[in-house]
Structure 1
Amino acid sequence: MILFLLAISVEVLASDGSSAEISYFAAASNVDTSGLKVFDKDGREGRVSFEEGTVLMFHFPLDSLEVKVRMMVLALFFAAIVLALFLPLVKQLREIMKTVYAGDPFVESNAKRVRWIGLILIIATFAEAISELVVYGYADATFVTKGFDLDGRLSLDFIQLIAGMCVLVLSEVFRQGTRMREEQELTV
């Protein structure tokens, strides 16, 4: 599961914790590359460009303890969201594996577990998109840039969304197969 929820990070630079900085991710467009140069090993100059919506990272020193604490609380909040989605997914997989090891994975409860996994993937997709929108929008509203623009935008991980939908379809196939197996056992 790919999650971008921890989009604002706090880095402690000194071992004593006295010097720290906050790092922001933001989507950028109209990046001014006129001052950037690139050369190959033969000395030929190349051109530098960025795609629209390129993710940039920029850093500011954390000057006060209050700001450090606020950023740590925010980072812990995002980490809690990640855990709230990840731990139930692992639990469902663990319960499925127990039935596999017991030799009877085709039970109704596993169909429900597979369905939960699909729902968790879909929920995680939207949680990731909303967190990106919040973080990018915050950066767009908070910072003044020179040489590029910030774009607060909503983007969905369509691969993860489609994977979640496929898992939902597979859960229904699993449920139907379990039902058919139960009916077959009754007829024998």
Structure 2
Amino acid sequence: MVEPRIRPVVRPAVRSDDDALGALDRVTWSTLHAVTPRPLPPYGPFFDALHRPEDFLVAELDAFGDPGDPGGPGGPGGIPGAEGREDDIVGYIRVARPTALASNAHVRQIQGLAVQPWARGRGVARALLRAGVLHARNQGARRLTLRVLGHNAPARALYEAEGFQVEGVLPGEFLLDGAYADDVLMGMSLS
């Protein structure tokens, strides 16, 4: 069965999104994409000096869940799996400068992309990625880069479909759950 598409509202993150984004990070953590240890309680704040709200865009369902389907059975907008989630953030993307160096101030890097498990495969990641590209362009960036684990085929396929190209591979860069994983470097020109 093909899941119905979701057309989320994508907006800049605000400090009050901290708890929701922290919870999303914990529910989506997986060695499919994460190289950091699993988050364990007590949980700290999501935002900190290195992870500022202005570097994040969030995707959420609008008041009807889906602007193209304002009613129906199930959850908001008739989206199965969205029951009771009218105000939930369904995903986020982090677009930030890769370094503080003036020599690469023209580059932005995707440093995180997460989507609620129930909302995957419904267009949320694609909407966030497209909004992230626009966000980087609006900041004057000329390049957008990212790093993705070699075994994360769904993410790699999405990035390639949206115009990213593999620019390098660091073989066996990470040891995750006893297996070595490649770090795939991807990028695209924004000019």
- Judge same fold: TM > 0.5, yes or no: no
Bigger CA radius of gyration: 1
Higher helix share: 1
Give the TM-score of the pair, scaled to structure 1: 0.22
> Which structure shows the higher strand fraction?
2
